[in-house]
Structure formats: C-alpha cells, structure tokens
Chain A
Amino acid sequence: MIEPTVYDLSSPGRHGPQLPVLDVPVAPLPDGYLRTDLPLPELSELDTVRHFVRLSQRNMGIDTNFYPLGSCTMKYNPKVNEKAASLPGFVELHPLQDPEMTQGAMQLLLELQVYLAEISGFAAVTLQPAAGAHGELTGVLIMRKYQLDRGETQRTKILVPDSAHGTNPATTTMSGLTVVELPSDDRGNLDLEALKANLDDTVVGLMLTNPNTLGLFEEHILEITQLVHEAGGLVYGDGANMNAIVGVVKPADLGIDVMHFNLHKTFSTPHGGGGPGAGPVGVVEKLARFLPGPVVTVEHVNADSDDEFERNNFSEDGDDFRLVWTMPSKSIGRVRAYYGNFGVLVRAYTYIRMHGAPGLRRIAENAVLNANYLKVRLQNEASYPVAFGDRICMHEFVAQGILEGAPDIHTMDIAKRLMDYGFHPPTVYFPLIVREALMIEPTETESKATLDAFADAMIQIAREAREEPQLLKDAPHNAPVKRLDEVRAARQMILCRC
C-alpha cells in the first residue's frame, strides 16, 4: 500500500498542539503580514507520528539490509560511534566558546588530524571540508594556489582518467580549470602513453583514484606519480576507495600530494541522508601552508620566556601548552563555517581508536577478501562478465548485466529484481567505460553467510533472466511501489507540491 502524503491525510481544523489561553490583550498583526492562503497540512500529533514512522519502516539502510553500493563503502556504522558523539560534553559545545573552555574537543580534533596524517603518510590535515566532493574542491584549489604561488600561471589543466568519479571533472571545472580526459589501457590502468603525451607545463596536476573505480590497483602508480612530478605537476588522490588500502598502503608513499578522506566511507560515519559527511584533506609538506583553516595546533605557553629551558621544553604535567586555532600562512581561506562537521569527526575518531593500527589493516584485508569471494562466485557460477575480470580486484569489482541467452535483460532489470530478494541494488551504469555496469562493493563488515545469500540471489536471477525474463522486466514485485518511470520523472520534473 502506498503511504498517503501528509496533504492527503490533512483534515481542516485538525491540529497537534493546544495553545494556552491568552493572558495578554489580543494584538493583531499589522496589515499585510497575515497570510490567508498558507497551504499547510492539518494533522493531529498521533497522525503525524504514525505517518512518519510508517515511512521510516519502508526505508532501506545498512541497519536493515545488505547494501553493496559500489564506490560508496556502505559499511556498518558501529553504535559506539553514536554513544561517543552524544556525550554531553560534545553535544552541548558551542563553536563560539572560548578555546580555553573547549581544550578537550580541540584535543580530539588535533589527535584526529594526527591519526589521519599517520594513516595516509601526509604532513598535515585539515578537518574542515563537509563532504568528499567538498574535500576534492578544497584539494584542487590548494593545487591551483600552489602553482600560482610559484609563478606557474600558465598551468590551467587537470588530467582526469575516463574511469574517474564524476566529481573529478566537476571539481576541476568549479576550480576554474580545464579537464583533459585520459583513456584507460587494456588492463584497466591509466594509459601511460596518453599520460606522457599530455604532460607539459600547462598541467596543474592529475586526479587519480587508487584503486580506481574498476576496483583495480593502478599497476604503474609509482611511474605515474613520478612522471607528473617531473613535469611540475601535482597528484591528487581521490580517497573514495581508501577502504581497500587503509592500514596497508600510505597514499603519500605512492607519490600522492593531496587527498581527501571520506569519513562516511572508510571511517564508518553515517552516509547520505544519515549524514552529514566529512571530507578532511591531507597534504604533503610543501602544500601544508595552503590548507584551509582553522586547524588545531599546539602552542607553547612559554614560547616567549626569557628562560631558555622553559622556552624549549614542555613540562611533564603538560600545563604549559595549550591548543589554539590557527590559519596556515598561505591558506586558501575558509571553506566552511566554524570547525567542520564536529559530530562526524567524533564518530571517525572513535572508530579509529576502537580499531587501532592492526584493526585498520584488517578492515582493508577483509574488504578485499569479501569482494574477491563475491566476484569469483558470480563469474564461475552465474557467468556474469566482470570488467578486467582476470585480475584480482580490490574492495569492489564491476560486473556486467550481460547474460548469454537473455538478450533483452539489462543491468537495470537485474538491479530491480535484487530488491525482491531483500538486497539494495549495487551501483549501476558506472563507471561509464563499462557497458551495463554493476559495481559491487560488499565491505568488510558482512559475514560469509550474507555474501553467499547475495551470490545465490544473483545466480538465481541469472537463471530467471533466461527462463522467465518477464519476472525481471516487471520487478520489483515486493517493494512498496512497483518500477518507477525514471524517464518521465526526469523529463517532467515536479519537485514540489505547490
């Protein structure tokens, strides 16, 4: 049954709160301020609660279902994160409080900056950006400012592989730079010859995702970053796929100069509608002075002391240092109000502390293991083609909704049918360079039983595609609404009721 809208449930004159009787004289609003045509729904409190609770029960999320949405790292978000983020000392802080009163929160932010720097090998980290794409914009603006600062004003191009997330070219354009698209080679890597042909003194840098969106580790990564550096460019690392390498590889060791972290992917903070997100950015030493601020730094209370010993040493009880907000010397400026999405940062901090270094490494190992297990089952037992499927994949892989004996079945039909089996569909039709792409990322938090249930469903769907294709064409059958007319919805957009 389709849940009616609040407008359908509205009944004239019905309302929730009872206003107390006036104990002051009635004073009408001045002429022109009172609307007579305010079309708000009228419902009781109970009707309203039931309406929204019913809607929430139809929601599908990581707490209810397996959600293998490729490139999104829909891992379980541990409840301990919520416990930490709801501690009164954090919840009741105000960003305008005097730093003397918020030293604890600032210590958490400082430590998170240090942890992320250690995990990635970068020299400095800003926690300001509010999402992954926001981190990308921050990173590319830093790259641009670095080139301008050293007088390389002729550099206006950013190289972007054709397998990149759509945010990469969008970020480049938003930064006032020009995109040059580079092809992939026949093993799914960035084409080295195309890279060489485009590297000159007009290039600001290269944006690279490693592992890339095909779920493949760039086999020539060291050569790629060396070539870009020799041409005077910088390498941006899109950190969206960090879950595959966290605790195993430090991006800075690969020659990456600047990278964003998606805390809502790798570091288990809520995702999408459950957000907001956070997209901290890490940089190598030579870019640290361009970071947006404020960042937390340690200040020596006795830095100006006449006593040489006091000036150069912190005492053991630690009461002669304090944490302060500072703007890096050549900062690109603020990118967000106050100090980033603080509550999200607390959750990521908690996650890192709960895992420790060995735990973080196990995340990547199990994410890669789970993806390879699923990949091989789908290849061997249901003959789904997998893009560059002869290679070992990383945390995800791109299958194709192309089944022999089922010429009319497309990826969209398979995705819709998966909903009938209780699974959130994978990412579909991305990356663009793979036909009928089904991009599957199981993450490390799923059990073998869940992976097997998903593989069994995919195998069953492949059988149905050949024997009963209409079952797929009409799917979903068990969802609250049948297949939506996405084309009509996009062509005739009605975005609000009024």
Chain B
Amino acid sequence: MASENADHAVWLRGIEKQFPGVIACAGADLRVRPGTIHALLGENGAGKTTMVNVLAGIYRPDAGEVWVNGQRRSFHSPADAIAAGVGMVYQEFRLVPTLTVAENIVLGSAPRLLRSTEIEERVAELSAAYGMAADPTRPVWQLSMGERQRVEILKSLWRNASVLVMDEPTAVLTPGEAAELGAALRAMAEGGRSVIYISHKLDQVVAFCDEATVLRQGKTVATVKDLQDVDLTSLAEMMVGSSEGGYVDRPPAVEAGPEVLSLQGVCALNDRGLPALTDINMTVHAGEIVGIVGVSGNGQKELAEVINGLRRPTEGRVTVKGRDVTGASPGDLYRMGVAYVPEDRLGVGLAPKMSVVDNAVVRSYRSQRQGMFLSISKCVKFCQSLVERFSVRVGRLNDPIAGLSGGNLQRLLLGRELAEQPSVLVAAQPSRGLDVQGVAAIQGHLVDQRAAGVGVLLISEDLDELLALSDRLIVMFEGRIMGEYGPDVTPRTILGSAMAGKAPK
C-alpha cells in the first residue's frame, strides 16, 4: 500500500463530507504527482473547495483517507496540515490587513522572540529567491490584490510547503498578472513542489497545468493525465456532465430605446476616503444590457452604490429617465424605478437572520399595510407570489433565509427587485457562486428584462458572461472608464489590456 502511494504527493481517497442540507463530497478521489501542477476542476458546488479544505485540515471528512507524501495523515487542525507540508492560498486571502507583510508571512511559524529586522531580511531573501517582489515592512491593507496573493504564496514557501493549493488564483488578477503567476508556479513545480490549481478558467488551466481531476456533484468523474491531449470543449463537458452550455444566448440586438440612466462626470470616494471613481460618463438605454468589464476592486462596487443612492458622489450628476437623482436616497430611487441586485447578497440586500417573508417585503413593506399595521396576510401573499413566479425553493416562509442555497437566495432577491417593473436594473455579480441551472435562470431573467425594455447594467468578473449577454461593454480600471467596446467585434486581448489599464489601441 505504502509503495503504491510513495509516488503521490497527495492522495485524497474516497472523501465524503456533508453539511446540514448539503452533501459536499460523496466519495471523491484526487491524486497528485510530485513536481506537477494539477488542476482540480468542477462546477460551483462540485466539492472542490471542500476537498482542499479537507487537505488543509479545516474540514474533517466524514469518511475517506488523506495521504500526503506517501504517509496516511489524520489532520485535527490546520496546524497538522501545515506541518505535513500543505500550503493553502484561498480565494479570499487569509491575511491580517493591519499586520505587515513579514508578520503575515511568519504568523504561525514565527520564532519565539520576534526580531523584526531579522525577519524582514529573511522574508526579503525569500521573495527575491522566487522572483516575487513584496516589501516586507508594508502593512497588507496597502497592497494590491496581486501583491497580496504573492504574500500568500510566500507564506506557504516560508513553511517549506511541498504541496501548494491555489483556489481560483486568477479571479483577482489582470491577464498579465495571471501569466506571471503561471510562470512562478511552473518554477515551483520544477523545483519539485506540487501545485493543486482550482479554476473555472479552462484556457488558463490548459496553459498552466499538467494533469487534471474533474469533480461533479461530490464525485470524481474524470482524470486527465495529459492536458495537452484534450480540448476545452471536452473538459467543459466533463465538468457539467452534458453538452448544455453555460451561457444563455443573447437575442439579436434590438433598437435601443430612450436613455434611462446616465452618469455625467461622476466622482466618488471609497470607504477609506480615497478616490474610487473618477469622471465617469456613461448612459444606459431602455432595452439594452451594458456590461462593466474589470478586475474586481476597480470601482465597480462604488459605481453600483452611487447609482443606487448608497454612496454620495463627490462630483457629477446621475439622472434616471431624465430626472436628476444625484444624492437621492435608495428608497426614493427604487420608487423611481431603479432596482439593484448587490454583489454581497447576504450583507446588502438580504437580512440573513430574518424570515423569507420579511426579506421579500424589504422594498415594499410600506405598501403591505392595513391601517396602522403591517398586514401579515398581504406580506405572505406577496412573498408567495414571488416564490412561485421565480421558482424559489424554500422551506417554511417564516424560517430565516440563512438556510437557503445561493441560487434560491438570488432568485428571491432578483424577484423582489423586479416585482414592481423597474426601468433600470443594476446587477452586480448576479450569477457568481451559482450552479449551471442557477446561472441559466438568472441570466434568463436579465435577458427577459432587456426584452421588456429595462435598461440593465451588468457588473461581472466573468468575461464570458459579459460577452454573451451585453450589447455594449465598458471597461473600468482604477475608477476610470478605459473605453467602450462592442462584444462581437472586440478581441479578448484588447479587453485584457484595457482591464490592465493600458490605453486601448
């Protein structure tokens, strides 16, 4: 047995794990050879993150074996996994913003006494050795997303990890930064380390990785020994299980209607009081979908908030159907026909501890009254109509919504926003984190709204989604508009360089 495993850096065997209401892994396997970059593929909810969390000692599997470097392991905590040589780089970075780069890197494996200068020197040596520049004395909150990712990788290298797990590493990177990352990972693999690479972006997977394991509904459905032998389409088919594509097709372009939303010279600050939007000029017409392209954190969130009255612009004007609405409250804007599907559903837009009914009436509770009191029967009836119209799968309507799945939360939220036929819909990352059916349903609703004459502003990190749905694309970088493009005529390379802030050709 041991000899069979000796040539594996990682072998996760028959992993089972369930959470309340969800089976995350149902006997999944993963074998990674030393010195290779191994892609772990699958739809959202296929169990990828659960698998690597088991490997990292975060989750304890209900059944199954974990082998690392030829030894069977039983991790009680992340410390055990780190000691066994597993390094994790999470999609949402696990860094302490107020600590410095060096402090973050040594956290957990620091010497008993900290001598800052000595540690900073050693961190600087390490980052030089792997060609990953990072100033060890800077606090992490000052760093860009790409720099933070470097800190995460250095953190694992500091612990001399033999297996590095990267969860969706390029989601926060520009195409150029992603290429640099690919080169750095290749250098690590050539040095004998193994990398587990989780991504949706199949073109990058094929470019960076040697082998692949595909998960579907918690089980391993395919392993690919050599990624050069397969094409993207067959990989995608393995992931979704049938040839049904991921994206809803946009109906042919129609003549755009009158202007419903316009921004003129809008500037705004972010939560830290630093400029987040600079001189934004854009319009959205009735019956079109305008896509906002950009790496996240380039002002998209602030843009959505300014349009929806959650953030006051410092300069400029916002008009809806020709009326100046600059500085209007979110409630007033909704009544004027501006609906909003926010990016952080459970933080803004929904109240996780309140019931389905309470969440359904967030926009309309004032009209569910009877005399002085809120009419419970009116609220329930309204909620039921949403649930039916948008096929939300819920348990009891009086239970907190925290138990609903991401797709159902999003259907409830979108349904509520569309209930009173808006004229502008701002949708931020509406399909993120949903499975194929959920994505199709949400995208279907967006396309329907376009057909019904709503002006849709779609903010997404998924370039494919934007290309498939949008009538026009606007690229944002560092709070500025880099240019406007037609989706059918613009090569991705041009969009990519605009996303990276390079002047469009």
- A and B bind: no
A contact set with B: CB distance below 8 Å:
none
